[in-house]
Structure formats: structure tokens, C-alpha cells
């Protein structure tokens, strides 16, 4: 006999927006909040951040469309989360490393990956997963939480090199904080004082599991205390606030003051406005009014209003940016779709020396290609 009662499914998360204790710089109307300061970003840098956000939103729309047409594989949308992604990458220096998840398209692009490369890997081409020589970003992680100790290990490795002033920033979701990897990564980083910035993009849902069912604590950030690292809770829909707290964490990771610990845990509070992925139907597990208090928290509109208030952006410039964004994405899609590769490359780099099994599979594929020609494979893909 079971003594365990299945919990009733929760159809509404209890999140409110913005949380009272989260760091904010901008009000939703785009004005600076009392006592808040504009971070040390030039007008030009702010415009670049804005363009990056507009690009991210359009990439999301275009990628969703491409997936619906069968032109790319399953896609994880980021609507509502772009502000946090772009701002954390803006806070990194080029030599710092980004360790992203499957939802961090904008974070990767803002740290230097091209949208063409991102589309290439979303189309299944191995080339899109390669870590380029000139961009310090790892490919996306699909297993939840595994990147946390790995990012920490990368950062720990840097401390053993000379010079070692490089930080590693690692993204993960609220669901990842329920994995052992999250706790091991934080603990190790703290004990060995490793230059890592752990960013939990708390979008309130881990597919159908709401935040309240994920943890019995009120917040994620309070877990930082258990590991003796600094914890900061920030409004993830306020790009300037996210930039400010992340930049401070990056500085501390690389140049800690006397007695200061290098790692930081940032809880970036936001809401997943769309589906978990293009294979998900959120109406199956969350009510229509869930997250409605997040709806006027659009990170792009928030920064846009600020830039208009400050006279940094006007309609002409906004139109110019919108046109540039369309051109950039059209070119990225054309180039990604023109990718050609040899399918046998999927057998390379699995092991240093291919196993007998892999050799057999490669020989099978060669045989099929000889008998049927490559066009037969293209037809299967259509």
C-alpha cells in the first residue's frame, strides 16, 4: 500500500513580478528608479545592447517559424528572457568564458557567436557545435545541471595557469538547482575560491514543474549562504540591473578585494512567456492567467523607453536598427541553409581512435551511399 499521496497538479506559479528584494535600475516606464545609477556604459554601448535585444527577439520569431517549416530542429524560445541573457554577456570581457544552456541563443550571440553558426547547429550540423578559436563560448548543454561543475572546473583550471585573470559565467534554470551537480559545483567553487559566476535564469517553470514544486525555499539565491558565496537577486527583465550585478561579479571573480570570495550566485528573476520548446504545449499545465503580472515587464521595451527618455534613441535610429536586424537574420539564414557537409563527419571525434562498432557503422553508411546515392538521403530528410 502506498503511503504517498500524489500532489495535485499545480496550474499556476505563485511568482509575482518584480520580487521586492531584487536589484532594479529601471522602472518599467524606462526611468531610473530613485537612488539607482546608470551602469558605466556609454551611449554607444547602450545602443549596441538595445540592437542585440531587438535581434534576439526577431531571431526567436524567425527560428520558431523555421522550426515549424521543418527547416531547423526543436527550438527553445527565449521571449521575455532576452534582457538577462544579453546583459550577462555584455558584462563579460572577451577573454571570459560563457557556458550556456539550450535556451541561451542571445547570450551566445552577444558573446561573439554568429547567428549563422547557431542556426547551423540547430540544423544538426556538427560544425555548428565546434568551439571557435576566437569566441570563448562552449556549445549548449542539454543535460540539466551538468554544466555547473564543468564551468567551475574550467574556471579552476584557469587559476592554475599564469596569468589566470579569466572568469567563467555559467547559465542554468531553476530546474537545474534540483540536481546534485548544482550543489557540487557551488560547493567546490566556494571551497577552492574559483572565479565562476553562476547565473540561475529563474523563469518560474522547469517544463511543467512550477518553481514552488522545485524547492521549499522562498528563493534560489538564499542557497548561496549555504556555500559561503555571495548571492544576488536581480530583476531579470531589467537589462541594466542584470548588467550591473553581473559586471560586479565578473570584477570580483577576477580581482577580488582582500578576503573577498570569487564566486557569485545570481538569481535572475524572469518569466518564460512562451513554450518550453517548440515541442511543448504550456496550456496543458499552466493556466491562462499565469504570469500575467510579468506581461508589462518586457526587457526590450524597458530599455527602449529609457533610451528614448535620454535622447539616445529616436524613431529614425530605431527604424535603422530594425532594418539592420532583418538583413542580419536573412543573411544568417541563407548562409546556414547553404551549409554542405559530408555525413561521415559524424563519426569523427567521438573517440580518439574509432571503435570497431563505429568503423562498422561507417562502412554501412558508405555502402548505402554507394548503392542509393546521396539524393536518397535528401529525400528522407524532406
State the minimum distance, in angstroms, from the CB of residue 267 to ligand TPP.
Answer: 12
Asked if 105 and 81 count as a contact pair (C-beta separation under 8 A), the reply is no
- Residue from 79, 103, 233, 305 binding ligand TPP (CB under 6 A): 103
- Distances, alpha carbon 251 to alpha carbons 24, 91, 95, 99, 230, in Å: 19, 9, 13, 18, 13
Q: Rule CB under 6 A: is residue 175 a binding residue for ligand TPP?
A: yes
How many Å apart are CA 28 and CA 20, to the nearest integer? 14
* Total Cβ atoms within 10 A of residue 98: 24
- In the bound state with ligand TPP, the residue whose beta carbon lies nearer, of 208 and 361, is 208
Give how many residues touch ligand TPP by CB under 6 A.
Answer: 15
How many Å apart are CA 371 and CA 369, to the nearest integer? 6
Instruction: Give the closest residue to 176 by CA, choosing from 196, 194, 150, 202.
Output: 202
Active-site residue 276, yes or no?
A: yes
Instruction: Give the closest residue to 192 by CA, choosing from 157, 229, 156, 154.
Output: 156
Q: Rule CB under 6 A: is residue 199 a binding residue for ligand TPP?
A: no
**From 90-98, 114-122, 138-146, 335-343, span contacting ligand TPP (CB under 6 A):** 138-146
The count of residues in the chain is: 382
| Binding pattern for the stretch 258-297 against ligand TPP, x by CB under 6 A and - elsewhere | --------------x---x---------------------
Q: Rule CB under 6 A: is residue 207 a binding residue for ligand TPP?
A: yes
Please name the residues in contact with 207: beta carbons below 8 A apart, sequence gap of 6 or more.
175, 276, 280, 285
State the minimum distance, in angstroms, from the CB of residue 27 to ligand TPP.
Answer: 26
Q: Which of 272, 286, 302, 305 is the catalytic position?
A: 272
- In the bound state with ligand TPP, the residue whose beta carbon lies nearer, of 85 and 246, is 85
State the minimum distance, in angstroms, from the CB of residue 264 to ligand TPP.
Answer: 19
Q: Which of 276, 286, 302, 305 is the catalytic position?
A: 276
Asked if 170 and 137 count as a contact pair (C-beta separation under 8 A), the reply is no
- Residue from 53, 122, 206, 325 binding ligand TPP (CB under 6 A): 206
Which residues, listed in sequence order, are joined to residue 141 by a DSSP beta bridge?
Answer: 101
List residues with catalytic annotation: 272, 276, 285
User: Which residues make up the interface to ligand TPP (CB under 6 A)?
Assistant: 103, 142-144, 172-176, 203, 205-207, 272, 276
Amino acid at each position: 500500500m502506498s503511503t504517498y499521496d500524489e500532489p495535485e497538479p499545480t496550474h499556476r506559479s505563485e511568482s509575482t513580478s518584480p520580487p521586492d528584494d531584487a536589484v532594479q535600475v529601471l522602472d518599467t516606464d524606462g526611468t531610473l528608479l530613485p537612488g539607482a545609477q546608470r551602469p558605466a556604459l556609454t551611449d554607444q554601448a547602450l545602443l549596441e545592447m538595445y540592437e542585440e535585444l531587438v535581434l534576439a527577439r526577431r531571431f526567436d520569431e524567425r527560428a520558431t517559424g523555421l522550426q515549424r517549416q521543418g527547416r531547423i530542429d526543436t527550438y527553445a524560445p527565449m521571449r521575455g528572457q532576452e534582457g538577462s541573457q544579453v546583459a550577462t554577456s555584455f558584462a563579460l570581457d572577451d577573454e571570459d568564458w560563457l557556458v550556456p544552456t539550450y535556451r541561451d541563443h542571445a547570450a551566445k550571440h552577444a558573446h561573439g557567436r554568429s547567428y549563422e553558426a547557431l542556426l547551423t547547429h540547430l540544423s544538426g550540423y556538427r560544425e555548428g557545435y565546434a568551439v571557435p578559436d576566437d569566441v570563448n563560448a562552449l556549445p549548449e548543454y542539454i543535460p540539466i545541471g551538468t554544466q555547473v561543475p564543468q564551468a567551475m572546473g574550467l574556471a579552476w583550471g584557469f587559476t592554475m595557469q599564469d596569468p589566470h585573470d579569466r572568469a567563467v559565467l555559467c547559465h542554468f534554470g531553476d530546474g537545474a538547482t534540483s540536481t546534485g551537480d548544482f550543489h557540487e559545483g557551488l560547493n567546490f567553487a566556494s571551497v577552492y575560491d574559483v572565479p565562476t559566476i553562476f547565473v540561475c535564469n529563474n523563469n518560474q517553470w522547469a517544463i511543467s514543474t512550477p518553481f514552488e514544486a522545485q524547492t521549499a525555499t522562498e528563493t534560489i539565491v538564499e542557497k548561496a549562504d549555504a556555500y559561503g558565496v555571495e548571492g544576488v537577486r536581480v530583476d531579470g527583465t531589467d537589462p541594466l540591473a542584470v548588467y550591473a550585478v553581473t559586471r560586479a561579479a565578473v570584477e570580483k571573480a577576477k580581482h577580488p578585494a582582500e578576503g573577498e570570495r570569487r564566486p557569485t550566485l545570481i538569481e535572475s528573476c524572469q518569466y518564460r512567456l512562451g513554450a518550453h520548446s517548440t515541442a511543448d504545449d504550456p496550456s496543458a499545465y499552466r493556466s491562462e492567467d499565469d504570469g500575467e503580472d510579468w506581461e508589462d515587464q518586457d526587457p526590450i521595451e524597458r530599455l527602449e523607453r529609457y533610451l528614448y527618455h535620454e535622447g539616445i534613441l529616436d524613431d529614425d535610429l530605431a527604424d535603422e536598427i530594425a532594418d539592420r536586424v532583418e538583413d542580419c537574420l536573412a543573411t544568417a539564414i541563407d548562409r546556414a541553409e547553404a551549409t554542405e557537409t559530408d555525413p561521415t563527419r559524424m563519426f569523427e571525434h567521438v573517440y580518439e581512435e574509432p571503435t570497431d562498432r563505429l568503423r562498422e557503422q561507417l562502412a554501412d553508411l558508405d555502402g548505402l551511399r554507394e548503392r542509393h546515392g546521396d539524393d536518397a538521403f535528401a529525400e528522407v530528410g524532406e
